[in-house]
Structure 1
Amino acid sequence: MRRRFGIMLVVAALALAACGDERLPADPGDHLPNVGDSAASEALDASGAPDGAGGIGSAPSSGAGATKGQSYTNGNPDGHAAVPQEAQAADTSSPTWILGDGTPAGCTSEKFVAAVAAGGTITFNCGPDPVTIVVKETAKVRNRSPKVVIDGGGKVTLSGEGKRRILYQNTCDKAQEWTTGHCQDQETPALTVQNIAFADGNSTGDKTEGGGGGAIFVRGGRFKAVNTRFVRNRCDDTGPDLGGAAIRVLSQYHNQPVYIVGSTFGGASGQGGVCANGGALSSIQVSWVVLNSVFSYNSAIGKGANPARSGTPGGGSGGAIYCDGDNFTVRLAGTLIEQNKANEGGGAVFFVSNNRTGTMSIEGSTLRKNPSAGFETSGFPGIFFLGAKPPSVSSSTLSK
């Protein structure tokens, strides 16, 4: 159901706030969500907006709309791994929110942040050409949202301007509403990003939950990325365990995997992510299924590995992918990983299962030219692996 806000609804929201009810309703499709921050309040303009036009009200007069952007082709065209139903793009035929009025000026940071806080399915109506929306504050998922789907229609880039993280979900963050004592194993929110790009996100200096996640940080619930591009994102340059210039994930519901499908991380020289560890992806105790994707020109630039050697700040492992924890799995299928580098271990992939129960498989993929300046596992160029057994490799090429 598409949303519009009129004067009566805004007055009702103010009345609820006055009664001290800070809760979101269980079914936000039938009620006015409590968005809760100043940017969202501005975006929920009392004049409302017609269905299919302004989405979340009109842009504030002081707000800046989207600017001309660039279109991309995402993923590995030579990747042919089958994509299971649960890993496919979400249905957006009936969006909850349509951001914009058909022009770039109508697609603002304020509207985007408000829509993410309110939850539901978000699409964009910014005109016929690709656009870039500079996100002026990190968009945060509220923990009572059953799902948040962000679909850029292949035309939208969200930019952190090199100054801030773009998107944040954390079921253990009480500021986003505490919903259960088992926050690390909470089924919802289910966050999906698809047909969109994330550029110039930067979480440097933000050590919440250990730091990392330059573009997207996720803890708890579920997460997947489909047909998505990540360019020029970064997080802290040093540290023994933080990472994920593009994406950092800590825990998923019932240890179900994060799906990365048909997506690109970097893609060209100067476009890759940079972080202490995990120039693209980083996780602790999380399984990954990466299908038909590309990782290139990402870098792990920390020094001293993990645990940090004496006299060093630590980090430098997993040029593209950094995974740590106990019982988790990584599956790479139909994926190209090339021209990534690590100052320490695993120019392509760093995988350490502390209790040696984790497993890794590589299927129909190519890993090449991923230098590890410090260490890697013999027979697996670009990979440092400690797990239950050596990685299984089928119909794939691994080379220096």
Structure 2
Amino acid sequence: MRNPTLILCATALLAACSSPGRKAPVIHDPPPVVCEAPAGPVDVSTPDHVVGDGSAGSCTEGALREAAVQGGIIVFNCGADPVVIPVRQTVVFTTDAVVDGGGLVTLDGGSAARIFLLDANYNVTTPVLTVQRLAFRGGAAPRTGDDTADGGGAIYRDGGSLVAIDCDFIDNHAPATGQDLAGGAIYAFGGGSTTLVGCRFEGNSASDGGAVGSLNGDLIVVNSVFTGNAATGSDGNPGDGGCGGAIYQDGADERTAFCGVTIRGNTAGAIGGGVFRVSNDGTGTFTMERTAVDANTVTETGGGNAGGLYLQGLDLHVVDSTISRNEAHYNGGLWIHTCQVRMTNTTVAGNSAVGSNGGGLWLSGAPTGLLLNCTLADNHADADGQGAGAVFGGDTGLVLQNTLIVGNTGWWGPGCSDTLGDGGGNLQFTGEAPCTAQVTVVDPLLGPLGDHGGPVETLLPSATGPAVGAGTDCPASDATGRTRPIPCTSGAAEP
């Protein structure tokens, strides 16, 4: 099983072995570069192992497996054309390794096998497996498994650390139901961190975390796109899963960081159509910058919640981001439970709670903190007997400042169910179900949600409207990246 011949690559063959300029049909151009990447592609100009001798037929699963045993820098020499390498038995890594496909190589599990396993000790951060310029397709973890080790259709990280750069993960799958059975594409368990840069995740599914699952490890995602992934379980956590249509992360003091990420059109069976992140002891951190969480859905009728994101027990920072067009029975946009909150230049717009309260935000467990220069607009909670189109729950421990609450709707009230804290500069229209005791009731004349420059969609107030100059103690820039004047405009974006 581990005896294929390894071909050592001479310097003259390096261009054929791994050229970043080439693209396989399934490998898309990398997503837009919005944020500075925490890691770039590893230099593979002096590889330790080369899979193949210049022909497509020489690039085999066996040759890759033999290289993986030894680790180091692994590249491919499969000819000038894109190549698909079938993988029918998981390739195992136990030492530091870099696998570079040069934009030409697709590893295909054929819906029969997980593709890669990083096998390390649960509580250590090494070894590090780096995969770059590769496509992973058709990976399949055991479809009827009931253990965390049965997650991760394309890659399962058991300890150690994983870095994926400029990779595609397409149609990979893990068990469809069960608690903590996560990561249709990637499941990271314990140990160190998982860092994803410039990657695309499409059409992956698992009980939790349709694309990515992480349990007791850090998760950093930069300049990446998640579309059409599904968390297929039900009943939540604890329960049979269905948490986090794109991303599921559970644990304690781990770090979560998103920057320049698009999470769009994903579905979950229970909680968090886009993202589910829980810190069980309240010590975790969650940072989201210049990120769009859009058009995600929780499909469970009569019980599903948090169409966009469910966040619990976290030190929470959301900056220059938009949460839009998400839908669930309870709470359409963002559910915040027992968090310390700092949201700045953030738009929550067009979300719907189709059967209950809280179209935009649902606040439970008395979260505290500040919403600074945010826009809560056109969110809906219109079912019979329901309301709080903008915000359900909360108290004066969560302060609104320079924030617009506009165009929200609800059966018994369009604004907020409870009185939140007031830092000044807040405008609401209409004034029914006021969100703070001192809110100014006036129409800021917002335009539609759309591309007005910058990394995410925003709504712009009228340049001659009452929001202009209403804000104090403002951020230096707005959600589009433009410098704010003093005094600034209330809301996420200047006109």
TM-score scaled by length of structure 1: 0.74
- The amino acid of 2:2's aligned partner reads A
Partner of 2:272: 346
Q: CA deviation at 1:354?
A: 0.6
- 1:220/1:274 Cα in 2 relative to 1: closer, same or farther (>3 Å)? same
SS in 2 for 1:114: helix
Take 1:399 and 1:89, find their aligned partners in 2: how far apart are those partners?
32
Task: Look up the match of 2:27.
Answer: 72
Worse-superposed segment, 204-213 or 126-135 = 204-213
Corresponding residue for residue 324 of structure 1:
250
Match of 1:198 among 131, 136, 149: 136
Partner of 2:59: 107
- What is the rounded CA distance, in whole Å, between the counterparts of 1:50 and 1:148 in structure 2? 16
2:198 counterpart residue number: 262
Write the distance in 2 (CA, Å) between the matches of 1:83 and 1:370: 26
Counterparts of 1:336 and 1:73, CA distance in 2: 15
Q: Per chain length, whose mean CA-contact separation is higher, i.e. which structure has more relative contact order (CA < 8 Å, sep 6+)?
A: 1
For 1:159 and 1:356, how far apart are their aligned partners in 2?
40
Q: What does 1:171-190 align with in structure 2 at a 5 Å threshold? A: 171=120, 183-190=121-128
Q: What does 1:276-291 correspond to in 2, within 5 Å? A: 276-291=207-222
Q: Distance in 1 between matches of 2:55 and 2:147?
A: 36
Following superposition of structure 1 onto structure 2, how do residues 26-65 of structure 1 map, counting pairs within 5 Å?
39-41=1-3, 43-44=4-5, 49=7, 51-52=9-10
Question: Do 2:87 and 2:108's aligned partners in 1 also have CA atoms closer than 8 Å?
Answer: yes
Q: Determine the structure 2 residue equivalent to 1:371.
A: 297
* Number of the residue aligned with 1:397: 322
Q: Structure 1 vs Structure 2: percent identity of aligned residues?
A: 36
- Superposed CA RMSD in Å reads 2.0
Q: Is the 8 A contact 1:348 1:383 kept in 2?
A: yes
Secondary structure, counterpart of 1:133 in structure 2: strand
Tell me which residue corresponds to 2:37: 83
Contact 2:8 2:49 in 1 (8 A): no
Q: Secondary structure at the match of 2:64?
A: helix
Pair 1:141–1:205, CA change in 2 (3 A)? farther
Determine which structure has the larger helix proportion and give its number.
Answer: 1
Which residue of 101, 116, 119 maps to 1:152? 101
Show CA shifts across 1:178-225 (max 9, x none). Answer: xxxxx3233432100000000000002455644200000001122110
**2:23 matched to 1:92?**
no
Q: 2:189: which partner in 1? A: 250
Deviation for aligned residue 1:113: 1.1
Q: Secondary structure at the match of 2:165?
A: strand
Q: TM-score, normalised by structure 2?
A: 0.60
Q: In the alignment, what sits opposite 2:420?
A: none
Of 140, 143, 150, the residue aligned with 1:211 is: 150
Aligned residues: 311
The whole-number CA distance in structure 2 between the counterparts of 1:288 and 1:184 is 16
Which blocks of at least 5 consecutive residues in structure 1 are unaligned?
Answer: 1-38, 56-67, 172-182, 267-271, 309-313
Give the AA of the match of 1:280.
A
Structure 2 residue runs of 5 or longer lacking an equivalent are: 14-22, 326-495
The amino acid that maps onto 1:73 is H
Q: Secondary structure at the match of 1:112?
A: helix
